[in-house]
Amino acid sequence: MLRYCLLVPLALLVASVVAGWRSYADAREDIADDLNEAMIALANENRNLWTRQDTVAALRTMHETTRKPVIYQASDVNFRNPNLKDKAYIAVALADKYAEMPKINGDKIASESIILVTETDGNSLAIRVQGFADCSMASVFSLSDQRVPGVLFALSLLSMTSVFVWRKKEEKFTIDSIKLTPMQRQLVQMLLDAPGHKVDKQTLCAALWGNKSNAEESLYTLVRRTKGALAEANAEIVCNRGESYELHINS
């Protein structure tokens, strides 16, 4: 019975983890979308500056000597999330149309690579622009909406607490501390071990008296006498519409 009861808090816990991870993934996607929008606006705004001959010459020198992009802080870039200004930076590199932007190590959120093609001295060159955000897992998690996962997690804790409180209450009830005859003890033990502490009359009669003709009358008498002994243990046997008997353990 306890195993089945634990399925509820376990299911709520799994649901909270799945919902939390989904919210985290949505937050990362929102940051990437924010970077994309900002980089497109920045590329359109600086297209003429980045494709000028002196800029291309400087990028060519940087490309030939270091093979690394020019990187600068994005503090003057407009983001939907203003917190990204302190975390984001922009990489600008000169490469031909088929070259890849030099890789930047680390677990970062990146925008799409934007290509600006320019004609210089009859050569077709490409300016590649890409935005990055240094957002740790904790910072992305703090930006995500965790209200639904939080509610599910709280419900899982509440249901688990309820299960153990219920289990603790049942553990307090032991037939060893009650003065019962062997027949009464067998009856109470059957009810205690049954799912929901409920057993139908036919099962009880068959287990206690076999094929005895007046088993139901004997069961009624046994239950009536057992009720008095159980009252001292704060428990009672209840008859359900004459079809079954159920053991109630009062708190």
Residue 233 falls inside a structural domain: yes
Quick one: 127 and 20 in the same domain? yes
Quick one: 130 and 232 in the same domain? no
pLDDT of 96 reads 56
pLDDT of 168 reads 66
Amino acid at position 123, single letter: N
Last residue of a domain, one of 126, 142, 158: 142
Residue 23 falls inside a structural domain: yes
pLDDT of 97 reads 47
Q: Which residues contact 114 (CB under 8 A, 6 or more apart)?
A: 39, 40, 43, 128, 129, 130
Residue 147 falls inside a structural domain: no
Range of 213's domain? 173-249
The number of beta carbons lying within 10 Å of the beta carbon of residue 97 is 10
Average pLDDT of the residues in 119-123: 59
Quick one: 201 and 107 in the same domain? no
Q: What percent of the chain has pLDDT over 70?
A: 86
Quick one: 131 and 238 in the same domain? no
Highest-confidence range of 31-35, 82-86, 91-95, 238-242, by mean pLDDT? 31-35
Confidence of residue 123 (pLDDT cuts 50, 70, 90): low
Quick one: 130 and 180 in the same domain? no
Distance CA 43, CA 50 (A): 9
* Tens of pLDDT, residues 208-244: 998 788 888 899 999 999 998 888 778 889 998 878 9
Taking the CA atoms of 228, 234, 237 and 241 in sequence, report the sign of the dihedral they define. positive
Last residue of a domain, one of 120, 142, 164: 142
Quick one: 130 and 196 in the same domain? no
- Looking up residue 241, the CATH number of its domain turns out to be 1.10.10.10
Domain count, the chain: 2
Quick one: 129 and 183 in the same domain? no
Quick one: 118 and 22 in the same domain? yes
Confidence of residue 245 (pLDDT cuts 50, 70, 90): very high
Query: Which two tokens mark 160?
Result: 């688990």
Quick one: 31 and 126 in the same domain? yes
Average pLDDT of the residues in 26-37: 92
Residue 148 falls inside a structural domain: no
For the cut 90, the answer to whether the pLDDT of residue 14 exceeds it is yes
pLDDT, mean over the chain: 82
The number of beta carbons lying within 10 Å of the beta carbon of residue 45 is 12
Residue 32 falls inside a structural domain: yes
Confidence of residue 98 (pLDDT cuts 50, 70, 90): very low
